[in-house]
Structure 1
Amino acid sequence: MTPSRLIQQYWQDRNVSWSGKHLLLYQDSSVLSFKKTKQRTDLGYVGKGEVHGGFELHNSLLVDAQSRACYGIGGAQVHSNEFNSVEHNKQRKRSLRHVSFSQKETYRWYSTIDQSTTNCAGASRYTVIADQEADIYELFSLYKERQWDWLIRATDYRRVRHSNGSTMLLSQFLQEIPVSFSYQTQVSTSQNRTSHQALLRVKFSPITMIKSSKNPTKSLPDTLCMYVIDIREDDTSVLADETPIHWVLVSSHAVTTDQEAAQLIEWYCERWNIEQLYRTEKTQGLNIEQAQLETTHGLANLSVVSIMAAAQVMALVMAREPKQPIDAQIILNQQEIECSLWLNPTLEGKTDKQKNQHPPNSLAFVAWVVARLGGWSPHVNKPAGPITMIHGLVRFKAIVEGFALKNTTPNQQVMGLP
């Protein structure tokens, strides 16, 4: 069994109809570190250390563009780094300049989406969303060939063709176009930023991106047409000693109106859900890095199983306040849904605030039940987070097993006898 086969089997068992759906595929990688043992000889290096080994888990998270329902992990790959020094990595990068894109590690930004669209075939549209690591010219060309859309944060060195025929840096081009609209948003506290109300100025325009002269792949088109969105924080809202918010996004989606630009910005902002996914899988949640399996192959498979479980947690978190009702069957079976209906009255109080206000059989309804099992109180002003959902889901799964036994006549099959 392999990581990709685990996910393939999951979707084959689910038998979901994707017809008419527009899927957002959020891509990212996470470094997983494990203690090295005699049996874990083929773990790769992470960072500059040699004491702990590990690998990178690269995956895509599937989200419905309309309802924002989280469906789970579409594809995943594990990558190990055999080099443990800066110089080795420099030599490796130099040698890769003459290697085809399909042989590079960065090819995972394509192959993982290929997995996802194969596992979840039949959707009307796919949009790949990722940060600057996916700003790769070969990727854009491949996405275009496969008729997949993209929304990627651009790097600073991109060159574009001006309407007068000259070439310039994308950053220079953006200085020439006017602000289209402005809006205010609440910025949450992060490692490098304090919570505050930010005033953001937005520009957008069609662009013609030029292939780098250093790119050796002759089969690539010389230019690619797409759209750019520039989001920059106004100086008046920047807090002292902090860097202004500034994103440059490139997309295959047409951006000709303020509403279209705002929609793409909203989609990109929700990329933080994949960061939450990794937080859920690691130390504050499922604690995958403390796994006791002895083989790297076993750890790789377990890491994929855990990220799939973390995605189920994220599906519940994202369903707390849905834009529209989401059927619980997207991640749960009928027995689990029936168990949530049976459990619900035992978790409700006497007042309206203490009652589950969501439609039965909806994912939001189940999320409320799981949150209550995890210790969340309706009197708290903020909704349950991923860690609370993990605790609740563990309890819920155990209760479902008992619920299944309650509704089944004991026989040899239920008792596990031959």
Structure 2
Amino acid sequence: MQIVEVREVDAPDNEKPIIWRLVTTERVDTKEQVAAIVDAYRTRWLIEEFFKALKTGCRFQQLQLESIHGLLVALSIESAVSWRLLMLRWVSRHEPDADATTVLPPEHISVLVALTAAETGRRLPRTPSVRVALFEIARLGGHIKNNGDPGWLVLSRGFDKLLTIHRGWALAQIG
């Protein structure tokens, strides 16, 4: 058993520096090995957010399926949705001005732009930023922008509404 201690060097004023004490069975003989342990731990937060999206946003734990096969099928579908929502929110926070096409397919963006114009009268650019797309999807789920960043539940509701409307739009294109 090994312990890796990580200390924040330049903590913001009036805040205690972060200290992590990580217990591991991995080797920590080199700087590279220690860095790998720290990187793995830092990834933990993203993994936890994925499971919050799956459990809260997609309400996976509330499903009452009768077979393991049904559960696994639902898990595969809801995992894909959770990953998309996580990616949307993560990019929105870290690269808010990036094109929405980095996380959403163009046809979803087209529907979102048209829907926003129809429901609010606001005209979005053909390719809005990820941040704008996030808030428009959240608006579809009932989010009020003054309440800060959207949570998983309203984001999931909005994304579900976007997908449903997109399906109708795609069917209308067929004829």
- Shorter-chain-normalised TM-score: which range? 0.7 to 0.9
Change in Cα spacing, 1:181 to 1:307, as seen in structure 2 (3 Å) is same
> Residue 165 of structure 1 aligns with which residue?
none
Q: 1:198 to 1:329 in 2, by over 3 A?
A: same
C-alpha distance in 2, partners of 1:342/1:210?
Answer: 52
Cα displacement string for residues 178-225 of structure 1 (whole angstroms, at most 9, x for unaligned residues): x7833038xxxxxxxxxxx6310679xxxxx986xxxxxxxxxxx852
Report the TM-score when normalising by structure 2: 0.72
Structure 1 regions of 5+ residues with no counterpart?
A: 1-156, 159-169, 186-196, 204-208, 212-222, 229-249, 254-260, 411-418
How far is the alpha carbon of 1:341 from its aligned partner?
A: 1.7
- Gap regions ≥5 residues in structure 2: none
Q: CA deviation at 1:328?
A: 3.0
Residue 395 (structure 1) aligned with residue 156 (structure 2): no
Q: RMSD of the alignment, in Å?
A: 3.8
Q: Which has the higher contact order (CA 8 A, sep 6+)?
A: 2
- Alignment map for 1:284-295 (pairs within 5 Å): 284-295=56-67
Cα drift, residue 390 of structure 1 = 0.6
Q: 1:383 aligns to what?
A: 149
Query: Equivalent residue for 2:76?
Result: 304
1:226 corresponds in structure 2 to 31
Q: Which has the larger Rg? A: 1
- Which residue pairs with 2:10 in the alignment? 182
Number of residue pairs the alignment of both structures matches:
170
TM-score of the aligned structures, taking structure 1 as reference length? 0.34
TM-aligned CA distance change 1:184 to 1:303, over 3 Å: same
For residues 195-210 of structure 1, the aligned pairs below 5 Å read: 198-200=15-17
CA distance in structure 1 between the partners assigned to 2:174 and 2:139 by the alignment = 30
Identity in percent: 20
Correspondence 1:16-415 to 2 at 5 A: 157-158=1-2, 170=3, 181-184=9-12, 198-200=15-17, 224-227=29-32, 250-252=34-36, 268=42, 271-282=44-55, 284-323=56-95, 325-348=97-120, 360-380=127-147, 382-406=148-172, 408=173, 410=175
Describe the shift of the 1:210–1:366 C-alpha distance in structure 2 as closer, same or farther (beyond 3 A): closer
In 2, Cα distance between equivalents of 1:301 and 1:224? 43
Counterpart contact for 2:137–2:155, Cα < 8 Å = yes
Deviation at 1:349, TM superposition (A): 6.8
Distance 2:167 2:26 in 1: 58
How far did residue 274 of structure 1 move? 2.2
CA contact (8 A) 2:96 2:131 kept: no
- Runs of 4+ residues deviating >4 angstroms: 347-350
Distance, in Å, in 2 between the alignment partners of 1:403 and 1:327 is 22
Question: Do 1:347 and 1:369's aligned partners in 2 also have CA atoms closer than 8 Å?
Answer: no
